[in-house]
Structure 1
Amino acid sequence: MPEDSNRDAYNIPPTRTPVPDPAEFFKTVCSYIIDAPVTFVREWIERQQAKNKHYYYHQKFRRVPDLSECLEGDYLCYYEAEAQWRRDRMVDKEIVEIVRERLGACKQREGPNQFQNCAKEAELLVQVTKAYQDRYGDLGVHGNSRTCLMKQKHRMMEERK
């Protein structure tokens, strides 16, 4: 009895067992059964990957001598210069494509105002395309570093005249 009198004196409500909320119970069970193991495995995988972190960047090739710098009969130098020329051609082709895509995106974005707002991109495309055409134009599908070098030599001779 003295307990009840103390409760009344301090206005403490009587103790009751709380009714469990089914949604809260389901959430807690799912947290322990599904979320905890998945989180543990993911964090473990991330720790393992952090230990063995590899950076994947573009492959960097060393610059080799140009075909004009190769000694006569040095076939390995010829091959390396040809491979270097092919990589340079692919890079230049991708540059032209990227600039072309930027111009297309600008035209799409600007709509009717494309002629005044995309003039910078259009001028850049003209310059890049002209540079690509000057270097690789008229070589055909089977063009190689030797024919490109000869084309460059002939162009330089014409400019001197």
Structure 2
Amino acid sequence: MGGTTDYEEPTFLRGMSKVVSTFTAPARYFRENIVEPNRKQDAVWYHRTFRRVPTIDECYTDDYICRHEADEQFKRDRLVDQNICNILKNRFTECLRSEHPDIGNCDKIKEDWQLAETNYFSKYGEIGVRGTVIDAFMRQKHRMAWERRHGPIGTGMKESV
């Protein structure tokens, strides 16, 4: 009984595999010979790519289409930045769960998350969910004027001469 036995596939299963391959052969042929050779190798199929449009400072004041496109681009960028912040927050939370007693291993992730949150707030903070690209542009302009007079935000006001 210690010898090896050759296992032979039952006749029914051999017949079913032939039936299945008969039905899948045209789809497999089409994919291997038409779809894959014509596909760009570096194309990512699950991301929709939008062309970058002119920013609001490049639009004329009476060009409403340009202003609308800049606003839509702003909304997409804000959504991307929100998702980046959420991903970093989730990574930090997962790191805390997995490294519970020794949370010192999560310091780099925490710094990245806090930097992303700071950058997000400096760009989009306090303009609200209905804020437009013009609101963000004015916020940026006012922040730059403040920094020119008083120094970078968060470092304290510089001495007046």
Range class of TM-score, shorter chain: 0.7 to 0.9
2:18 is the counterpart of 1:29: no
The structural deviation recorded for 1:120 is: 0.3
Across the two proteins, how many residue pairs are aligned to each other? 137
Instruction: Report the counterpart of residue 7 of structure 1 in structure 2.
Output: none
What's the secondary structure of 1:118's corresponding residue? helix
State the partner residue of 1:14: none
Q: Which amino acid aligns with 2:136?
A: C
Q: CA deviation at 1:101?
A: 1.5
The answer to whether residue 96 in structure 2 is matched with residue 107 in structure 1 is: yes
Note if 1:61 corresponds to 2:44. no
Letter in 1 for 2:102: N
The answer to which of 42-51 and 94-103 deviates more is 42-51
Shift of 1:147: 0.4
Match of 1:151 in 2: 139
Q: CA RMSD in A?
A: 2.0
Q: Are 2:20 and 1:38 equivalent residues in the alignment? A: yes
Q: 2:124 aligns with which of 112, 116, 136?
A: 136
Post-superposition Cα deviations, 1:115-160, rounded to whole Å, max 9, x if no partner, equal x110000011110001001111101121110000000000000000
Q: Which runs of 4+ in 1 moved over 4 A?
A: none
In structure 1, the residue matched to 2:3 is none
Residue 82 of structure 1 aligns with an amino acid whose one-letter code is D
Could you tell me the TM-score, scaled by structure 1's length? 0.77
Equivalent residue, structure 2, for 1:126: 114
Rounded to whole Å, the distance in 2 between the matches of 1:70 and 1:106 is 44
SS of corresponding position for 1:111: coil
- Structure 2 residue ranges without an equivalent (≥5): 1-6, 150-161
Structure 1 unaligned segments of length 5 or more: list them.
1-22
Q: Percent identity?
A: 34
Q: What CA distance in whole angstroms lies between the structure 1 residues aligned with 2:99 and 2:23?
A: 48
Rounded to whole Å, the distance in 2 between the matches of 1:40 and 1:113 is 58
Q: Equivalent residue for 2:66?
A: 77
TM-score computed with the length of structure 2 as normaliser: 0.77
Q: Distance in 2 between matches of 1:42 and 1:100?
A: 44
